[in-house]
A and B are shown apart, each in its own frame.
Chain A
């Protein structure tokens, strides 16, 4: 089945640690995204990538980093510089980042700082 796979589903991070969330898609989509959801808020864009080896900051990129070495993969690293990392993280993809294209989401990853 085609889809977007995120792992792990639940992750605990100690203060000062970097953690990486995995996102893989087999939809052959060019564009991939990372969003963050906090209680009572909409989805906020962290980073996006339109093609391999290229990515741009979203609205809340500080404390995060990404890479796009393969079309199928767009991992997100939450660094120790991210002051409030506890949240629900969503990876998404679309055929292209342009008019008329639907974004599809993975199942999400919960990150908790302990």
Chain B
């Protein structure tokens, strides 16, 4: 039961353009959402989060949008830079279908920013 899905395994974007990474979830009990960036053989680095009471959160070049009715969130990176090339994971947290508090991670999207 994959409660958090990142349907695009990879994405290529030209430097300076916008990168949009998408994430869908199925459990309406999730109330806090996070995005992480990961380089090979390193731990994920926290980027930005959003509470379910908001629909947008911005931090520099990174903006996360939450559409609760669609159970969808997205991460926008503007402008994209070559150093943004990494794997991006979304995560959702809240009461899971098993009744316990959980953090559920997607499978990741590999972003490649072309110079």
Interface residues of A (CB under 8 A from B): 4, 6, 33, 35, 40-43, 45, 88, 90, 92, 97-108, 110
Closest chain A CB from B115 CB (angstroms): 27
A100: contacting residue among B44, B46, B51, CB under 8 A: B51
What are 7 A-B pairs with beta-carbon distances under 8 A?
A41-B107, A99-B93, A100-B31, A100-B51, A102-B49, A106-B43, A108-B43
> Which residues of B in the span 49-108 have a Cβ within 8 Å of any Cβ on A?
49, 51, 89, 91, 93-94, 101-108
CA distance A90 to B76 in the complex (A): 26
Most B CB contacts (10 A, CB to CB) among A6, A41, A99, A101 go to A99
Question: Which of A41, A42, A105, A106 is most buried by chain B, counting CB atoms within 10 A of its CB?
Answer: A42
Residues of B within 8 Å of A41, CB to CB, are 107
* A to B contact number (C-beta, < 8 Å): 55
Which chain A positions have C-beta within 8 A of B32? 99-101
Q: How far is the CB of A43 from chain B (nearest CB, A)?
A: 4
Residues of chain B lying within 8 A (CB to CB) of residue A90? 43-44
Number of interface residues of B (CB under 8 A): 26
* B4 CB within 8 Å of chain A: yes
Chain B residues engaging chain A, CB cutoff 8 angstroms? 4, 9, 31-32, 34, 36, 41-46, 49, 51, 89, 91, 93-94, 101-108
Once A40-B107, A42-B106, A97-B101 are accepted as A-B contacts, the answer to whether A102 and B42 lie under 8 Å apart by CB is: no
A100 vs B53: C-alpha distance when bound (angstroms): 11
Residue of A nearest to B94 (CB): A99
Interface centre among B32, B46, B93 (most CB of A within 10 A): B93
Q: Is A102 in contact with B34, judged by CB distance below 8 angstroms?
A: yes
Contact B107 A103 (CB under 8 A): no
Residue of A nearest to B31 (CB): A99
